[in-house]
A and B are shown apart, each in its own frame.
Chain A
Amino acid sequence: MRFDGYQTDNFFDEMFTQSGKPREGAKQLVQRLESLDEGELLERQSAAEQALFRMGITFNVYGDSSGTERIFPFDVIPRIVEAGEWKKLESGLRQRVYALNLFIQDIYHDQKILKDGVIPLELIESASSFRRQCIGLNPPRGIWCHITGTDLVRHTDGNWYVLEDNLRCPSGVSYVLENRQIMKRTLPQAFEACNVLPVSEYPSRLLDMLQFVAPEHIANPTAALLTPGVFNSAYFEHSFLAKQMGVELVEGRDLVVADGHVLMRTTKGFERVDVLYRRIDDDFIDPLAFRPDSLLGVPGLLDVYKAGRVALANAPGTGIADDKVIYAYVPKIIKYYLGEDAVISNVPTHVCFEPKDRQYVVEHLDQLVVKAANESGGYGMLVGPHATPEQRSEFAKRIEANPRNYIAQPTLSLSRVPVIVEDHFEGRHVDFRPYILYGKDIFVLPGGLTRVALKKGSLVVNSSQGGGSKDTWVLG
């Protein structure tokens, strides 16, 4: 299969320049792909899909009654990030996570940044992810956001932008690891020729980080991954990571608080747990501290945490830095705590909380993407240019009714990558989610999840909205 008729259509293409030549880092890959026999690539694509199906690498879709599991569509043409570019992204992500951690610590302690007027106090107090229960909390080693999955996009201008900070149990890293396994089988020659940095160390890095934040006096801390259970959309990932780390995958009902410790119920009695990588939202982890109707959590967990007898990753309260309105202030946050400019820019963002911005947003809904402050997965979102006039006026009403809850951004022309469509290649829009671990140091996994909007022209890459994924090759 050849790239002869492939069009970049005035978008930034990750593989080809405007003139249709492969970019430097993609030359080897393009050459190998084109040298495959006719039909060979399609066969490999279908073999890769079958492997995913057989391995049961699935996710669950909320509100879909036809069957709870689905395969995350996968396209075998990898997305390439060149070495020089990666260096810049890596330092930008480190900077961002470091600053956000300082911000969270400040918010739950002295609130200097509010007192200095950099961020309006009102914004914090009205944030649904602000946890009063966490005021004065000192998480082990001062780390709040242990695991972050920052969403990045590249615009037509060729620059990278941060689209979202995900500090609340970001998912998707299991696909990064599994996609890589599949790709090594699917295109081994191309893989070998490209000097791709490995991603396989993620689980051991994750475990190291978890053990690092465990209560200090314990010699061999026991870590466990706390899942909401088999019906959660990311259950596959929970079991995958638990298995890769060799730790127990526990549900709330497996755990109990007694004598000031968190214990798990085993066939031989109760065993102590020292660190929980929890994939349950703050609201649900402890019915005594947060939502009383939660059946997923462990009553009394927060007290044990506060007493320093169990560590939680991420720390409760971390979500405050992940509020989409706070996002707009992150460049200022970086400047405030580090005295530096953000290495990776934000997407220009209108905060509807500010009256002037709000007026602009309502008047330009046909050009903007509007997002609710506390939703993820593409829910509660309006893509202005693709919406009907009715949908737009409906959203305008929602914004006026609750301006604090909305931000708006220009519709970015997300960069594109070729995907296989029937028997040829077509460009499709992608975003990129690298994963960052904050333990002894800040580690950025050289790779990440490239999500691709498989529908022609679509900009929505979420798995819950018909997106797929690709392997991401960060070159060394």
Chain B
Amino acid sequence: MLSRVADSLHWMSRYIERAENVARFIDVNVHMTLDLPLGSVEQWDPLVATTGDRDVFVERYKTANRENTIQFLAFDQSNPNSIVSSLRFARENARTVRQFITLEMWEHVNKFYMMVNSSTAPLRAVESPHDFFTDIMMASQLFLGITDATMSQGEGWNFCRLGRMLERADKTSRILDVKYFMILPTVGYVGTPYDDILWGAVLRSTSAFEMYRKKHQQISPDRVVNFLVLDREFPRAIHHCVIEAEEALRAVSGTPSGTFQNQAEQRLGRVRAELDYIQVNEIIRVGLHEFLDGVQDKLNAAGQAIFDTFFALRPIDGAVAMKKGLHP
């Protein structure tokens, strides 16, 4: 398939996944602030930090209250990672590959964008945030379902999956990282019901609460870390996402597991190998923040290698053309 098309499919999926994650962060935060003791500072600042655009926010909005944060993260067109921007990019990418994706996928992306870009959306987001952000999460999951149910599961579909899984791994690592920092200074909460509330919020941010309970029952920090980083089966756990991303990549290239043919496979395979064999106490010993930082860097490097290997508009090289057997 065309390199440019593969690139657009990858980013289309990535941006939709990003929109969902931002909606998820906001929703959980809205709920959490309702549970914290009256008079405690509302935790909106870490939310801005989660998305990695804190500087832009401070410059434009000054204080991180609920209205400002929702505006910035959901509706600010000048924030490239806001929900509306992510969906705009997703739609633009979808538009450039409209001949490749299915009509159902295109119609849904179109509808999804119009839902968030409507004039009534900002008011609804502030007045009934839970309904609004749940709609966004559902719309993203519906897109995933439509993709799986209507698109042939070949190369293009695998590039969609690859983009989605890399994005999800990144977002789970960020939410864990930021919440960890947020909880750290408030040692006063440790061992109180609020400790449970905060860790519960971390789990809910990734829709992991129920699945976590089934596996580990009681909430404890190292088990939460174990679950969100190292679980192979939970769909938002970093390890799971990396396994899926790697499988998507191998499905594209046909390279057997445990080997590599290009830098993308080498880098992603290495992240996976680390996650396959590391244990949670090693992570705690290194420091969760340091560990997650490392994972993010390695995933970024893998993303760059994917771009270089598959998408970059490389200059023509006569030798390449010959090797590919273009002259029968």
Residues of A within 8 A of B (CB): 54-56, 229-230, 235-236, 238-240, 242-243, 248-251, 253-254, 256, 258-259, 261, 263-272
- Assuming A254-B2, A259-B322, is B314 touching A265 (CB within 8 A)? yes
Q: At the interface, yes or no: B252 with Cβ under 8 Å from chain A?
A: yes
- Residue B320 lies at the interface, judged by CB distance under 8 Å to chain A: yes
- Do residues B313 and A265 form an inter-chain contact, with CB atoms below 8 A? yes
Q: B4's contact among A243, A251, A269, A270, by CB below 8 Å, is which?
A: A251
Given contacts A56-B106, A239-B99, contact A267 B6 (CB under 8 A): yes
B327 within 8 A of A: yes
B252 contacts which chain A residues (CB < 8 A)? 267
Q: A56-B107, A259-B318, A259-B321 are in contact. Are A267 and B155 (CB under 8 A)?
A: yes
Kindly report which residue of chain B lies nearest to residue A241, judged by CB atoms.
B99
B residues within 8 A CB of A230? 92, 95-96
Closest to A243 in B: B99
A-B contact pairs, 25 of them (CB 8 A): A54-B107, A54-B110, A55-B106, A56-B110, A230-B92, A230-B96, A239-B95, A240-B98, A240-B99, A248-B1, A248-B5, A248-B99, A250-B2, A254-B4, A256-B316, A258-B316, A259-B322, A265-B3, A265-B4, A265-B313, A266-B2, A269-B320, A269-B324, A270-B324, A270-B326
Contact B110 A267 (CB under 8 A): no
* A-B pairs with lowest CB-CB distance, top 10: A243-B99, A242-B99, A239-B98, A239-B99, A269-B324, A249-B99, A56-B110, A256-B316, A267-B310, A258-B316
Given A56-B110, A269-B320, A261-B326 contact (CB < 8 Å): yes
Residue of A nearest to B254 (CB): A268
Q: How many positions in chain B have a CB within 8 Å of any CB in the partner chain?
A: 33
Question: How distant is the Cα of A229 from the Cα of B92 in the complex, in angstroms?
Answer: 12
Within 8 Å of chain A (Cβ to Cβ): is B103?
yes
Q: How far is the CB of A51 from chain B (nearest CB, A)?
A: 9
Asked if B213 CB lies within 8 Å of chain A CBs, one says no
In the complex with contacts A54-B107, A54-B110, A267-B155, A258-B1 CB distance below 8 A: no
Given contacts A267-B3, A267-B6, contact A258 B107 (CB under 8 A): no
**B103-124 CB contact bits vs A (8 Å, 1 = yes)?**
1001100110000000000000
State whether A272 and B326 are in contact (beta carbons under 8 Å apart), knowing that A240-B99, A263-B316 are contacts in the complex. yes
Chain A residues whose C-beta falls within 8 Å of the C-beta of B99 in the assembled complex? 238-240, 242-243, 248-249
A243 CA to B1 CA in the complex, in Å?
Answer: 14
Chain B residues within 8 Å of A266, by CB: 1-3
Do A264 and B103 touch across chains, with their CB atoms under 8 A apart? no
* Nearest CB of A to B263, in Å: 14
Rounded to whole angstroms, the CA-CA distance of A270 and B320 in the bound complex is 8
List, in ascending order, chain B residues with CB within 8 A of A265's CB: 2-4, 313-314
| Count of A-B residue pairs with CB < 8 Å | 87
Chain B residues with CB under 8 A of A55: 103, 106-107, 110
Residues of B within 8 A of A238 (CB): 99
Chain B residues, CB < 8 A from A250? 2
Complex contacts, B316 vs chain A, CB 8 Å: 256, 258, 263, 270
Closest chain-B Cβ to A184's Cβ sits at a distance in Å of 15
The residue of chain B having its C-beta at the shortest distance from the C-beta of A245 within the complex is B99
Closest to A272 in B: B326
CB within 8 Å of A: which of B1-58? 1-6
Name the A residues within 8 Å of B100 (CB-CB).
243, 249
- Bound-complex Cα distance A254 to B99 (A): 15
A259-B326, A267-B310, A270-B324 given; A254·B3 CB < 8 A: yes
Chain B residues within 8 Å of A264, by CB: 2
Task: Determine the chain B residues whose CB is within 8 A of the CB of A243 once the complex forms.
Answer: 98-100
A232 → chain B, closest Cβ, in Å?
Answer: 12
B320 CB to nearest chain A CB (Å): 6
Q: Measured between alpha carbons, how far is A304 from B149 in the docked complex, in Å?
A: 42
B318 touches A258 (CB 8 A): yes
In the bound complex, residues from chain A placing their C-beta under 8 Å from that of B327 are 259
A248 to B8, CA, bound (A): 14
CB distance from A37 to the nearest CB of B (A): 29
A contact residues around B98 at 8 Å (CB): 56, 236, 239-240, 243
B residues 66-122 near A (Cβ < 8 Å) are 92, 95-96, 98-100, 103, 106-107, 110-111
On chain A, the residues within 8 Å of B6 by CB distance are 267
Contact A258 B2 (CB under 8 A): no
Q: Please indicate the chain B residues that have their CB under 8 angstroms from the CB of A54 in the complex.
A: 107, 110-111
Give 1 or 0 for each of B220-238: 1 = CB within 8 Å of chain A CB: 0000000000000000000
Per-position binary interface string of chain B over residues 184-216, scored 1 when its CB falls under 8 Å from any chain A CB and 0 otherwise: 000000000000000000000000000000000
Besides A242-B99, A259-B327, A269-B324, 9 other A-B contacts (C-beta < 8 A):
A230-B96, A240-B98, A248-B5, A258-B316, A259-B318, A259-B322, A267-B2, A267-B3, A269-B323
In the complex, how many angstroms separate the beta carbon of A198 from the nearest chain B beta carbon?
Answer: 20
Chain A residues whose CB sits within 8 angstroms of the CB of B2 once the complex forms? 248, 250, 254, 264-267
One digit per residue, 1 when the CB lies within 8 angstroms of any chain A CB and 0 when it does not, for chain B 130-168 equals 000000000000000000000000010001000000000
* B310: A residues at CB distance < 8 A: 267
The distance in angstroms between the C-alpha atoms of A236 and B95, with both chains bound, is 8
Closest to B110 in A: A56
User: Among the interface residues B99, B321, B326, which one has the most CB atoms of the partner chain A within 10 A?
Assistant: B99
Please name all residues of chain A whose beta carbon is closer than 8 Å to the beta carbon of B323 when the two chains form the complex. 269
User: What string of 1s and 0s marks CB contacts (under 8 Å) between B287-328 and chain A?
Assistant: 000000000000000000000001101101010111110110
Smallest beta-carbon distance A241→chain B, Å: 8
- Across-interface contacts of A242 in B (CB, < 8 A): 99
